[in-house]
Chain A
Amino acid sequence: MTVAATTLKYQIVNRRLGLWLFMVSESMIFLALLASRFYMQGTNRPAEVNQTLGLIITSILLLSSFTANRAEVAIAHGDRSSFLRLLLTTIGLGLVFLAGVVTIEWPEALHFAPPSTGYGTAFFALTGMHAFHVLTGVFILALAFLKGRRGGYTVDDHWGAEASIVYWHFVDVIWVFVYPTLYLVGS
């Protein structure tokens, strides 16, 4: 087997497998943090947690997953302008989510659950780790956007776009667990 004999499609399947293994590995970080939250605090939750904000940012992330999916369908069928528009929307929603967590939620939480308390530790560690993944996701989506604008993706080869969007869904999957663990369980 030589480099030439390894088709592009074959390599894309390799990369897809690699991406999934990476995501499996990354979810272990969150598994450990989620388990620690229950180990340290059980289902204990301060009453001051901002439920409205929690629901709003969750919906924003869900919406961004939806636009990301549409962007992927668009580029897979060669519709570059829709792809770029939808990807930009996704990035925007991601930034809104980040702003919601970092500029509204964190200052509030500092009052009723500072990081030096049990719940605060779990809260800041989980949302912080997730926000870090959102940030990297936004960065990768931005790279995909730039490459898409240069015309770097075709119907057959749009792996970069696919990977960044799958990773974005992964960020959403993590929030699916983080949200109920921090906002909904217990009383």
Chain B
Amino acid sequence: MSWIKGLLFGIVGFVIGSGLMLLVGQRRASEPMVTVGYIFFLVAWLLGVGVWDHWARGWFGLENKPTPTFKSHGVARYFAFSTDHKVIGVQYLVTFVALLLLAGALAMVIRLQLLQPTGILDPQTYNTVMSMHGIIMIAVAVAAVIGSLGNYFVPLLIGAEDMAFPRLNALSYWLVPPVAILLVVGSLLPGGFTSGWRVYPPLAERGGISMLLFLIAFLTFGLSSIIGGLNFIVTIIRMRAPGMTWGRLPIFVWSIFCASLLSLIFTQFVATALLMELLDRVVGMAFFAPDQGGGAILYQHIFWFYSHPAVYVMIIPGFGLLMEIVAHFSRKPLFGYKYAVGALLGIVGLSGIVWAHHMFTSGMQDFLTAPFMLSTELISIPTGLVFLVTLGTIWQGKLRLTTPMLFALGFLFNFTIGGLTGIFNADAPTDLQLHNTYWIVGHFHYTIMGGEIFAFLAGIYYWFPKITGRLYSERLGKLHFGIMFVAFNLLYAPMMIAGLYGMNRHVATYPPELNGINMFISIAGFVLGSSFLVFIYNMATALRRGAVAAANPWQLRTLEWQTSSPPPEHNFSYAVRVNGHPYDYGVDDSTHVAPATGAPMPAAAPAAE
């Protein structure tokens, strides 16, 4: 088993690395010892999980061992260094749903704390819980949709048999477990996390050894994100089936392409910012020490130069899922396909010039305020186009209100509120008042949780029959949506109101007069959390005894539905040839996939219209 072998190798690696540092005279548990030990741990872990067996042997002239397949390993391939994009997609999906639930449980602890101004935790523990919730949710938001649904469905949607670099794909997944291990270990060490997920210096540079672990965990996660992005770009450029032109690419694939461009280019900046903090800590450099010639807000500049595009890495795949699902379940061609693509590319183009709107109160030069205000508000134009496309698609469509469609419509509602409240953050005069309050927390959760996580759930419900070959209970799915949607709005709208009254974020307590509204928020939060129990129950029972899903249960046009559920090892039993647009529902004589020559396509039931 890869996990056990990886851990054993990793521990031996850590002992060797940290032992070396002890030999050159570093103290026990000193920062250089832990850092070098971790580097050795990471390399050994990767070699142990399968990089050596299936990849690195070739570098040294040895024969690589074959990677695990269904034939050779059965279910155990999900715990091994599989290079099948579908296996990796499921690995990502399970890992990140588990992380989502873990960070969600931490959110419950936060709300438990804020039931009363006095709370139940000491401020130090609260900071750790809050930072853990932040960083894990950021990781989930960055990688959940791309890593799981992207990995599973991009090759299927473009008619490829796998990603361009299958081994690199596996590598990007196997970099994730060390991140989780580091974060869990770091949060349990005395001292805990102090600084929130943004790890601003000087706080992050002065915290204990657990802050060091936090930094290298974040750095490792960045590496995984970059590798994944690179792989998607090459796959989408080079692996499309014959006839799958750029103009026929399903919009979800476009969204993954755009998000991958962003993570390829910008993730390096957060990696560098974290590396600078590490250098400051471990070797005593002066990047963020203004008294020694460093820059006081340099970190914020570099950090937000990544972290603003990062929210587009999170939300663009959400937009893609939204438009994909809305087009299919409105049974209409996607309205303004070219504008939708242009909008996504426009967001990519603008995302690199808006970062300083996070810094209006940081003390940066005044002349930067106006240009960043303007560029930030420019982004509402492509975002508005996405909404126009979605609404135009819904307009006069034959709507099928399935569970995924409901989640997509929920996304539309939530993100509208998230987008409109964002205007007040983009405008410097109002932002000076709103910054660092729960208004920001509410706004951010409306966009990312109400947007991307709703889209993620929509995607899971949409593709669950394809991935597992089973049908879930529509009734329970709708129940999940109903509870979650109502509780979500009752949770985050009052949060913004509390922010308007001046309730500060990142603090373990609040003024007693805000007790009533906080109690309301907490109860809504617990209801929201409990809706996930319905989700888990639904998925678990469907997996065990759900009805068997047909190849194409909803009679949809895109390629992933034109193969069995779940798809065979190399995805298609016939040679894929694309000859039309994916969303031309109701258009005469239009097909997306050309009738196959040779092996027959799986029979699709006649459309129920």
**A and B in contact, CB less than 8 Å:** yes
Chain A interface (Cβ < 8 Å from any Cβ of B)? 1-3, 10, 13-15, 17-18, 21-22, 24-26, 28-29, 32-33, 36, 39-41, 115-121, 124-125, 143, 146-147, 150, 152
Give bound CA distance, A142 to B168, whole Å.
22
Q: B164 — which chain A residues lie within 8 A by C-beta?
A: 14, 18
Closest to B241 in A: A1
Residues of chain B within 8 A (CB-CB) of A120 are 285-286
Q: Which residues in window 220-262 of B have CB below 8 A to A?
A: 226, 230-231, 233-234, 237-239, 241-242
Asked whether A143 lies within 8 Å of B285 as measured between CB atoms, the reply is no
In the bound assembly, the distance between CA atoms of A143 and B56 in angstroms comes to 11
Judge whether A29 and B272 touch: CB under 8 Å: yes
CA of A115 to CA of B284, assembled, Å:
7
Q: How far is the CB of A8 from chain B (nearest CB, A)?
A: 14
Neighbouring A residues of B275 by C-beta, 8 Å: 29
Docked complex Cα distance between A119 and B286 (Å) = 9
Whether A25 contacts B268 by the Cβ 8 Å rule is yes
A146 touches B268 (CB 8 A): no
Offer 13 A-B interface pairs, CB within 8 angstroms, sorted by A: A1-B242, A14-B234, A18-B168, A21-B230, A21-B233, A29-B272, A39-B301, A41-B293, A115-B285, A116-B284, A121-B292, A143-B60, A150-B61
A152 to B61, CA, bound (A): 9
Distance of A32 from chain B, by nearest CB (Å): 4
Q: Choose among A1, A26, A41, A125 the residue that contacts B285 (Cβ–Cβ < 8 A).
A: A125
Interface string of B277-292 (1 = CB under 8 A from A): 0010001111100001
Residues of the A chain whose Cβ atoms lie less than 8 Å from the Cβ of B226: 25
When distances are taken between beta carbons in the complex, the residues of chain A under 8 Å from B273 are 32
Give complex CA distance A33, B61 in Å: 37
Q: Is the CB of A21 within 8 A of B285?
A: no
Number of B residues near A (Cβ < 8 Å) is 47
Inter-subunit contact B234/A17 (CB<8 Å): yes
- Tell me if B165 is interfacial: C-beta within 8 Å of chain A: yes
In whole angstroms, what is the CA distance A118 to B289 when docked?
9
Question: Which residues of the other chain, B, contact A1 by a CB distance below 8 angstroms?
Answer: 159-161, 239, 241-242, 575-576
A-B contacts besides A1-B576, A40-B294, A121-B279, 17 pairs, CB < 8 Å: A1-B242, A1-B575, A2-B161, A14-B165, A17-B234, A18-B165, A21-B264, A28-B269, A29-B272, A32-B268, A32-B272, A32-B305, A40-B295, A117-B292, A118-B286, A118-B294, A121-B286
Q: Which residues of A contact B61 (CB under 8 A)?
A: 146-147, 150, 152
- Contact indicator A116/B292 (Cβ below 8 Å): yes
Q: Do B295 and A32 touch (CB < 8 A)?
A: no
CB closest chain-A residue, reference B267: A25
A120 to B266, CA, bound (A): 26
Q: Are A36 and B302 in contact (CB under 8 A)?
A: yes
A18 to B: closest C-beta gap in Å: 5
Identify the interface centre among A2, A26, A116, A119: most chain B CB within 10 Å of its CB. Answer: A116
Q: Which residues of B contact A21 (CB under 8 A)?
A: 230, 233-234, 264
B298 at interface by CB-CB < 8 Å: yes
In the bound complex, residues from chain A placing their C-beta under 8 Å from that of B271 are: 29
Contact partners of B161 in chain A: CB under 8 A? 1-3
B269: A residues at CB distance < 8 A: 28, 32
> Which residues on A sit within 8 Å (CB–CB) of B231?
18
Residues on A with C-beta less than 8 A from B264 are: 21, 24-25
| Residues in A neighbouring B22, C-beta threshold 8 A | none
CB distance from B571 to the nearest CB of A (A): 10
Q: How far is the CB of A27 from chain B (nearest CB, A)?
A: 8
At the interface, yes or no: B265 with Cβ under 8 Å from chain A?
A: yes
Question: Does B570 count as interface, using CB distance less than 8 angstroms?
Answer: yes
B230 engages A22 (CB within 8 Å): yes
* Docked-complex contact B295 and A36, CB < 8 angstroms: yes
- The complex places the Cα of A156 from the Cα of B285 at a distance, in Å, of 48
Question: What's the Cα separation between A123 and B393 when bound, in Å?
Answer: 55
CB distance from A129 to the nearest CB of B (A): 8
- Residues in B with CB closer than 8 Å to A2 are 161, 570
Selected from A22, A33, A150, the residue in CB contact (under 8 A) with B272 is: A33
> Would you list the 9 A-B pairs with minimal beta carbon distance, nearest first?
A118-B293, A28-B268, A32-B272, A121-B285, A115-B285, A121-B286, A21-B230, A18-B234, A14-B164
B543 interfacial contact with A, CB 8 Å:
no
Q: Which of B239, B266, B295, B576 contacts A39 (CB 8 A)?
A: B295
Any chain A CB within 8 A of the CB of B112? no
Contact of A17 among B237, B268, B295 (CB under 8 A): B237
Q: Is the CB of A28 within 8 A of B238?
A: no
- Rounded to whole angstroms, the CA-CA distance of A124 and B301 in the bound complex is 21
CB–CB A125/B576 < 8 A: no
Cβ-based interface call for B367 (8 A)? no
Bound Cα distance A120, B294 (Å): 10
CA distance A3 to B166 in the complex (A): 12
Pair A115/B302 contact, Cβ less than 8 Å: no
Contacting residues of chain B (157-215) with chain A, CB-CB under 8 angstroms: 159-161, 164-165, 168
Contact at A25–B265, with CB atoms within 8 Å?
Answer: yes
Minimum Cβ distance to chain B for residue A100 (Å)? 21
Distance between Cα atoms of A11 and B149 in the complex (Å): 25
Q: How far, in angstroms, from A53 to B237 measured CA to CA in the complex?
A: 44
A125–B279 CB distance below 8 A: yes
Q: Is there an interface contact between A32 and B59, defined as CB atoms closer than 8 Å?
A: no
A26's partner among B268, B279, B284, B302 (CB-CB below 8 A) is B268
User: CB-CB < 8 A to A147: which residues of B?
Assistant: 59, 61
By a CB distance below 8 angstroms, the chain A residues around B575 are 1
